[in-house]
C-alpha cells in the first residue's frame, strides 16, 4: 500500500477565533499581533486584511496605515503553536499520525484511512467542510510524499489531490518556493530564470548540488519520493490500537455499549493472536462538536477476555457525555504483557494470586473502590511475628521469601500483642488460666513453648516463649511469655492471636 499524506494549510490562522466570529468584525479587516524585539508585528490576518495589503511580519503601525479601520488584537507569544496543537488533536479523528507544521499548517499520514470516509476525494472534502464550519480558511493537498502534499496545498491552482505516483507532474508547474526552500535560494533561482520546478527538475543531481547546495537537492528528492522523509506525530502511536468511525453520530447508551464491545473484541483478538494480554487501556471518544473524552482502565493480570475488559469500562459509562453525538472511538492498549498459558491451571485446582479468576475479581473491586484500597501481604525476613508480613498495594510484586509452612501461626494476629493476667504452676510452663478483657479462661491443654529470639540488630530486648493454648470452650489462643531468667525479672504474659 503506497503512503499517502495530507498537508493542511491554514491560510488565515487566527489565534482568537471567537474575536472574528463577532458580527461587528465579520466584514472588517482583522489582524493579530505579537511583540518581537520591542515592535508589534502582524502574525495572522483575515481575508479582508490581506486584500488591503497586510502581510505576516508587517509592523502593526504600517498595517494601520494601509488598512484603515483594521482591528488589531494582541496575542501571547507562541499562541499559534498552541492553536495548531489543538487542531492537530482534533485531526486525530481522521488518523493517529498527525504532526504540527509551523507556522501555519498540519501534516497527516492518512495511509489506509481514506476508505473510512468513502475514498480520498470524500476524505478531503470532509476535512475541508468541517474546518470551514469552525471558521477557518484552509487548503489541503494529498500526495504520496510530504513535500508534494505541502507544495500543492500552498502553491497549486488546482490538482490538490495528486494521484499515486503523480508527484513529478504535480511539481513541475509550481514555483521553486513550493519545495520549502529558503528565501535567499528562491531569489537566486528566480534571478537565474528558474520560475518553475519543471525548469530544473531534469538537471543532474550533481549539478544541482554544486550550484544550489545539498538542501535544495534534498527537498526536491523528498518531494519526488526518492529521499526518505518522516513524519513526527504529535501523539506517539501505540503498537496495539483500534478505532472505529461511525457513519452517523450516536448518543444512546445501548449503541455506545455495542460499539465499544465490538472494538474491545477486535483488540483482544489481536492480542490473543500474539500471546499478549491487556494491562491498561485508554478509550477515547470523539464528538461531532470537536470535543473529546477519555476512559481509562487497568488490570492486575494480563487479560484477553472481552467481557472482563468491557465490564471495567462499563463502570465508567456514566461519565460519557455524548453531546450532539459521538462520531468515533479510539481504543489504545497503553500497556500489554505476555499472557500466561492457561493450560497449567487445568492441573491445579487452587487459584493463586496469578490466576485469572483472582485477577478479575481484584479488577472489579478496584474499579469500584479504587486500587489504592486493595492491599497485599508479603513475607518479610523478621523474627517477631508482627513484622513477618509487609503491606503493599503492588499486587504484582514478587515476594523475596516464601511463607513459613513448618510453624503454627494464627489466622488473626493482634498488633501490638495485648497484655493478659496469667497464672502458671511454674515459671517455665504454660499458664493454667488467664484473664483477657475482664474474662477468665481456663486452659485445658497447651502446646509449646516455641522460643523466638529478638532482633538484637534492630532493638534491645529478650526472647518470647509462645504457646498454643485451648480453653474449656474450645477456643484456641496464641500466648507468649517474656524472659524471667535474670534476677529481678518477672514473666509477663501477652495474647498475640486467635486460631479458628
In a domain, 369, yes or no: no
In a domain, 456, yes or no: yes
Phi, psi of 342 (to 5 degrees): -75, -15
Residues contacting residue 263 through CB under 8 Å, at least 6 positions apart: 242, 243, 244, 283, 329, 331
Give yes or no: residues 220 and 283 share one domain. no
**Across the chain, which distance is largest between two alpha carbons, in Å?**
118
Alpha helix positions (H), 213-299: 214-224, 253-273
* Domain end position, chosen among 316, 342, 368: 342
In a domain, 47, yes or no: no
In a domain, 360, yes or no: no
Q: 433: left (phi > 0), else alpha (psi -120 to 50), else beta?
A: beta
* Domain end position, chosen among 170, 195, 224: 224
pLDDT truncated to tens, each residue of the chain (500 aa)?
A: 689 999 999 876 654 454 455 555 667 788 878 887 778 888 777 778 888 988 888 898 899 989 888 888 777 767 778 888 989 999 998 998 999 998 889 999 999 889 888 899 999 999 999 988 887 888 999 999 999 999 999 999 888 999 999 999 999 999 999 999 998 999 999 999 999 999 999 999 999 999 999 999 999 999 999 999 999 998 888 889 999 988 889 999 999 999 999 999 999 999 988 889 999 999 999 999 888 999 999 988 888 889 999 999 999 999 999 999 999 999 999 999 998 655 444 434 555 555 666 777 777 777 777 777 777 778 887 878 877 777 777 766 777 777 777 778 887 888 889 999 998 877 678 899 999 998 999 999 998 888 888 877 777 778 889 999 999 998 999 999 988 766 667 888 999 998 87
Range of the domain at 203: 5-16+75-224
Give yes or no: residues 9 and 158 share one domain. yes
Give yes or no: residues 331 and 470 share one domain. no
Residue closest to 471 by CA, chosen among 435, 420, 418: 435
Cα–Cα distance for residue pair 418/435, rounded to 1 Å = 11
Give yes or no: residues 283 and 214 share one domain. no
Residue closest to 370 by CA, chosen among 391, 393, 389, 396: 393
Sign for the CA dihedral angle at 427, 428, 431, 436 comes to positive
Give yes or no: residues 103 and 181 share one domain. yes
Q: Say how many domains are in the chain.
A: 3
In a domain, 179, yes or no: yes
Is the separation of the CB atoms in 250 and 258 below 8 Å? no
Return the bridge partners of 41, or none. Answer: 34, 59
Strand boundaries in 255-318, DSSP class E? 276-287, 292-303
CATH of the domain at 250: 3.30.1490.100
State the CB neighbour count (10 A cutoff) for residue 77.
10
In a domain, 293, yes or no: yes
> Environment class of residue 89 by beta-carbon count within 10 Å: exposed (0-12), middle (13-18) or buried (19+)?
middle
Give yes or no: residues 327 and 419 share one domain. no
In a domain, 357, yes or no: no
Cα–Cα distance for residue pair 296/175, rounded to 1 Å = 49
* Domain end position, chosen among 290, 321, 342: 342
Give yes or no: residues 424 and 489 share one domain. yes
Cα–Cα distance for residue pair 403/409, rounded to 1 Å = 11
Give yes or no: residues 419 and 331 share one domain. no
CATH of the domain at 130: 3.30.70.270
In a domain, 362, yes or no: no
Cα–Cα distance for residue pair 97/354, rounded to 1 Å = 37
Give yes or no: residues 208 and 330 share one domain. no
Q: Which three cell numbers stand for residue 176?
A: 521553486
Residues contacting residue 402 through CB under 8 Å, at least 6 positions apart: 379
Q: What is the pLDDT of residue 457?
A: 76
Host H or E run for residue 42: strand 39-45
Give yes or no: residues 276 and 209 share one domain. no
Q: 213: left (phi > 0), else alpha (psi -120 to 50), else beta?
A: left
Give yes or no: residues 10 and 156 share one domain. yes
Give yes or no: residues 220 and 245 share one domain. no
Is the separation of the CB atoms in 170 and 156 below 8 Å? yes
Amino acid at each position: 500500500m503506497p503512503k499517502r499524506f495530507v498537508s493542511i494549510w491554514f491560510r488565515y490562522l487566527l489565534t482568537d477565533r471567537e474575536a472574528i466570529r463577532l458580527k461587528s468584525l465579520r466584514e472588517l479587516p482583522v489582524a493579530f499581533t505579537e511583540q518581537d524585539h520591542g515592535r508589534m508585528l502582524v502574525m495572522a490576518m483575515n481575508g479582508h486584511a490581506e486584500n488591503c495589503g497586510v502581510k505576516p511580519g508587517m509592523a502593526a503601525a504600517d498595517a494601520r496605515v494601509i488598512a484603515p479601520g483594521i482591528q488589531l488584537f494582541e496575542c501571547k507569544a507562541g499562541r499559534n503553536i498552541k492553536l495548531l496543537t489543538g487542531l492537530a488533536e482534533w485531526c486525530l479523528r481522521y488518523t493517529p499520525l498527525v504532526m504540527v507544521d509551523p507556522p501555519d499548517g498540519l501534516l497527516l499520514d492518512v495511509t489506509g484511512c481514506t476508505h473510512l470516509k468513502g475514498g480520498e476525494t470524500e476524505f478531503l472534502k470532509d476535512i475541508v467542510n468541517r474546518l470551514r464550519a469552525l471558521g477557518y480558511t484552509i487548503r489541503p493537498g494529498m500526495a504520496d510524499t510530504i513535500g508534494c502534499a505541502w507544495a500543492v496545498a500552498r502553491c497549486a491552482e488546482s490538482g490538490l489531490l495528486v494521484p499515486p505516483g503523480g508527484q513529478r507532474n504535480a511539481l513541475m508547474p509550481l514555483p521553486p518556493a513550493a519545495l520549502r526552500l529558503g528565501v535567499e535560494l528562491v531569489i537566486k533561482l528566480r534571478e537565474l530564470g528558474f520560475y518553475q520546478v519543471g525548469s530544473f527538475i531534469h538537471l543532474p543531481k550533481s549539478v544541482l548540488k554544486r550550484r544550489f547546495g545539498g538542501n535544495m537537492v534534498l527537498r526536491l528528492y523528498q518531494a519526488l519520493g526518492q529521499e526518505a522523509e518522516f513524519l513526527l506525530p504529535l501523539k506517539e502511536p501505540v503498537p496495539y490500537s483500534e478505532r472505529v468511525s461511525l457513519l452517523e453520530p450516536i448518543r444512546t447508551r445501548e449503541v455506545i455499549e455495542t460499539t465499544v464491545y465490538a472494538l474491545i473484541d477486535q483488540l483482544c483478538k489481536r492480542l490473543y493472536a500474539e500471546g499478549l494480554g491487556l494491562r491498561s487501556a485508554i478509550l477515547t471518544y470523539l464528538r461531532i462538536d470537536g470535543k473529546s473524552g477519555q476512559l481509562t482502565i487497568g488490570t492486575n493480570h494480563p487479560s484477553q477476555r472481552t467481557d472482563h475488559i468491557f465490564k471495567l469500562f462499563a463502570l465508567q459509562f456514566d461519565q460519557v457525555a455524548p453531546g450532539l453525538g459521538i462520531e468515533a472511538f479510539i481504543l489504545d492498549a497503553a500497556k500489554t504483557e505476555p499472557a500466561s498459558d492457561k493450560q497449567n491451571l487445568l492441573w491445579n485446582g487452587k487459584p493463586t494470586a496469578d490466576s485469572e479468576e483472582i485477577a478479575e475479581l481484584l479488577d472489579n473491586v478496584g474499579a469500584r473502590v479504587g486500587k489504592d484500597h486493595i492491599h497485599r501481604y508479603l513475607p518479610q525476613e523478621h523474627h517477631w511475628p508482627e513484622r513477618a508480613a509487609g503491606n503493599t498495594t503492588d499486587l504484582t510484586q514478587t515476594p523475596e521469601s516464601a511463607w513459613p509452612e513448618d510453624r503454627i501461626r494464627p489466622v488473626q494476629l493482634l498488633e501490638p500483642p495485648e497484655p493478659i493476667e496469667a497464672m502458671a504452676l511454674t515459671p517455665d510452663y504454660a499458664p493454667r488460666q488467664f484473664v483477657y478483657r475482664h474474662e477468665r479462661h481456663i486452659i485445658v491443654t497447651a502446646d509449646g513453648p516455641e522460643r523466638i529470639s529478638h532482633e538484637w540488630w534492630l532493638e534491645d530486648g529478650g526472647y518470647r516463649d509462645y504457646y498454643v493454648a485451648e480453653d474449656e470452650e474450645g477456643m484456641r489462643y496464641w500466648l507468649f511469655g517474656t524472659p524471667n531468667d535474670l534476677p529481678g525479672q518477672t514473666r509477663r504474659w501477652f495474647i498475640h492471636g486467635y486460631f479458628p
